[in-house]
Chain A
Amino acid sequence: MMQDGTLATSFAAQHVLAKSNPAILDWSGQAWEDWLRLQRNDEAFGGRPFAAVAFLDCLQDLRLNVGLMQLLAMPGLACSVVLAFPTAAAAKIARAHARREEWHELVRMLVSSDVPRLIDHLPADALLAAFSMPVMLDRQSLGRVTALVTGASEPSSGASTDGGDMFLGRAGDFAAWREGERSSEAFATTLRAMSVQDPKRIAIDRSTTVPPETSEPSLNGLNPVIQEFEGGLDMPGLRNGGELIVTAVRGAGESPVVVRHRGDLLDPDQSLRVRMPAALLTAVPQVIRAESRRSGERTVSQEFCFHVPPARLKPWMISAFLNRGGGGNPVVRAFANGVGCRLAYAEDEPEELQDIPVVWGVLRQSDRILAQAKRQGLYFFYIDHAYFNRGHGKTYRITRNAYEAGPVRECSGDRLSELDVDVRPWRKAGREIIVCPPTDYFMQAHGCPDWLDETLSGLRRLTDRPITVRMKPQPGEQAVPLPEALKKAHALVTHSSNVAIEAACLGTPVFVDGASAAAPVGLTDLSQIESPAYPDRDPWLAHLAYNQFSFEEIGDGRAWTMLLDLEERPYV
């Protein structure tokens, strides 16, 4: 269908219309949004089934298809839309774009060469329109559609507009239809007409009275069997007729349709693999309802829990976020490369997230992204400095739905042994308590602005031991080395700073917040300050080593593979 020769045509049309008649592009875009709104509506709506196929180079061309939008805006039609692209890569990009706008499963998107096979699945007398190029429906074409809708005429054999860029008729005639050679004169005529057309006068209002539907497709054999399947649905068995509808069940009036496909536009020989929107990529299962319908009547309905386990996350679900400033961008780029996921700036991201986010640190909008992910119940990944051998360009920790490594999982000691971590015996004869407060920003960001004051007053109530406050050294500042500072320490108290890990390795018991990476080998209750814990540190250290990765491992995807593998390891 659309091939190299037309790439320039549609590309030029974009720019010409944007300059000469942006209102018609706005109308077209609005008509599309209106149609999508109808598709997302859980309420069934009637109308004569009609399939419309538009051949595009990229999704940007969608608004050029004024003729398609005229059809979608017509009353009395229940349109199913197929968007066809010249290559698999172009189709994948369009699908990814559409997924972020949550309409990718409300249409069929495929490679142009697959269209004839798809049309073959339709009943021969099914109504079909196909647009090989952007067109605007003229009076004659609009009249023909109206006659079909109202039943004033039956579909005749396939017919096309001038230039052969539109098919309108029965699906059975599609194979015989051949697009005409599109001359530059024909293109110029269409584009000139679109350039001067008042958009107020090209569509029939949907509110116009519509005659009731008089014919229905057969629904025999429509009996979907839906199973949870790698972030999607596996649907063998859906055959001709009716619609498959999947709804995210959220409560009255808040249950959007996320999947809507006409049954006879699905390949009966293949499972339907659905990519769910971000709203369903949550850490906790969600209820969805799958049903088949015919003419507004629910024929089969099934509710079940939908959940993508963290070990089954896929690159298409992920967005890695750069920041405008800061030092994390190289590792975020490397992560996106290694995973093969979307890359964008945190500052440019709309409030509602459409993917599982990956961020570096908490500054420059990363904190906003994380807060939003938590609000939406999404999975998220957090990248920061590593526990051992840290430094930009060297190693980084990556954690899921937490800032730190979390509960200890069973890991071998192979990665730990490569890090050459100095682990000293527990010191049990120290006298002093060392308190290491977080930075002011950290305390504000983590909702504990008075952490230091509260910790000191708590300790003074609980013990007579000498207390030393050790502030985080500023860059370039000379400070007493930690091993030296801990020589006489009974315990180190901090919120979730990495200093607790160093202290635990140096043999100093630690008291930390439950979110700290050192929590598994420390205590979180200051009332036990006189009775510190001295556990075996080997499993914990091995676990930490499996939560941090070299820059190379992140960039070549090994880190991502290990992260997913870690999710399936049992807890210690």
Chain B
Amino acid sequence: MSEPRVLLCAPALTADESASGLEMLRALSLPSATKVLVTTGKFDTEKEAQAFNIEAGYPGETAHLQTLSRWAEVTEWPDARFRDGYDLFCLQRILSQREGFDIAVLLRDGFDFESRWSNLSDDLNGRMFLTREMSEGGGNLLINLADSRANRFLNRAVHFYLTGRAYALEPYDFDGALTIAAETVELEAGFDDLGPDMVGPADDSALADVEQAVSE
């Protein structure tokens, strides 16, 4: 059985974080892994990883996530909801431009990751995603891209933050937010049979009596 093709994405919000992320990636040597380091401008990855400038193209989403955090008047910066949303957006952006992976890893904690990799990848088997709560994966997120629902899951997860829904979750935690995204995908799947062609005057007579009562 061939090794899964793994995307290791180290997100970063600043140049300092990119430097830390590079060191984290440098320490890993998973077979068939592509290392991608998020940067916010020019950054020399010393050929240890591919650089991905999240600000290339000037996406409005990162500014919007920051705005939501400020509007929520969260005192700490960066707040956890902003940070998780930002990191997920980085991963989504990378996956929208780079294909051919079986597993995507949002790598936020490299400690002991390599030694646990075998167990983690086994645990991911048959699941859509995996987080710390599920398998002590640090602050990391693993997504099983072989799962047909994975793309929708990641889109919903990012959307969960972009719409500000994450601020409705109290107490907040990353796993809880991802679980809601996964539940959303499940719920939606139950309505995949519905489409615009089914819309019709389903309750056509419902208002007749009411309108008559009002006009009298």
Contact = CB atoms under 8 A, between A and B. Distances in A.
Interface of A: 2, 4, 7-9, 11-12, 15-16, 19-24, 57-60, 75-76, 85-87, 89-90, 92-94, 96-97, 138-139, 142-143, 146-147, 149-150, 152, 184, 187-188, 191-193, 195-198, 200-204, 208-210, 315-316, 322, 324-325, 329, 333, 336-337, 340-345, 348
11 contacts: A4-B169, A8-B180, A15-B188, A20-B199, A58-B164, A93-B71, A196-B200, A197-B202, A198-B199, A209-B215, A340-B70
Give the interface centre of B159, B167, B183, B209 by most chain A CB atoms within 10 Å. B167
A4 B177 CA distance: 9
A11 B156 contact: yes
Nearest to A342: B67
Interface in B114-164: 156, 159-160, 163-164
Nearest to A140: B206
B210 A8 contact: no
A341 B72 CA distance: 10
Interface string B32-65: 0000000000000000000000010010100110
B194 A210 contact: no
A336 B70 contact: yes
A202 B203 CA distance: 8
Which of A7, A20, A188, A345 has its CB near the most chain B CB atoms (within 10 A)?
Answer: A7
A204 B170 contact: no
A484 to B, nearest CB: 35
Contacts of B183: 8, 12
A303 to B, nearest CB: 32
A525 to B, nearest CB: 45
A343 B167 contact: no
A142 B64 contact: no
A20 B191 contact: yes
Given A58-B164, A143-B209, A344-B67, A193 B60 contact: no
A7 B168 CA distance: 8
Contacts of A8: 180-181, 183-184, 187
A24 to B, nearest CB: 8
Given A22-B196, A201-B207, A322-B58, A208 B214 contact: yes
Given A92-B72, A138-B206, A58 B211 contact: no
A348 B62 CA distance: 14
A546 to B, nearest CB: 26
Contacts of A2: 168
B202 A196 contact: yes
Nearest to A325: B58
Given A210-B214, A316-B71, 9 more contacts: A11-B156, A89-B168, A93-B164, A146-B210, A152-B213, A188-B191, A198-B200, A198-B204, A342-B67
Interface residues of B, number: 52
B68 interface: yes
B4 interface: no
B210 A23 contact: no
A200 B207 CA distance: 11
B74 interface: yes
A11 B163 CA distance: 10
A345 B60 contact: yes
A202 B207 contact: yes
Contact of A89 (B58, B72, B184): B72
Nearest to B204: A201
Given A19-B195, A139-B210, A11 B66 contact: no
A180 to B, nearest CB: 19
B58 A324 contact: yes
Nearest to A198: B201
Contacts of B201: 198, 200-201
Most buried by A among B181, B199, B213: B199
Nearest to B201: A198
B213 A322 contact: no
A135 to B, nearest CB: 13
Contacts of A196: 194, 198-200, 202
Contacts of B199: 20-21, 23-24, 195-198
Contacts of A85: 168
A336 B214 contact: no
Contact of A16 (B188, B203, B209, B216): B188
Nearest to B193: A20
Contacts of A97: 71, 164
A12 B181 CA distance: 9
A337 B188 contact: no
A210 B214 CA distance: 7
Nearest to B159: A11
A344 B167 contact: no
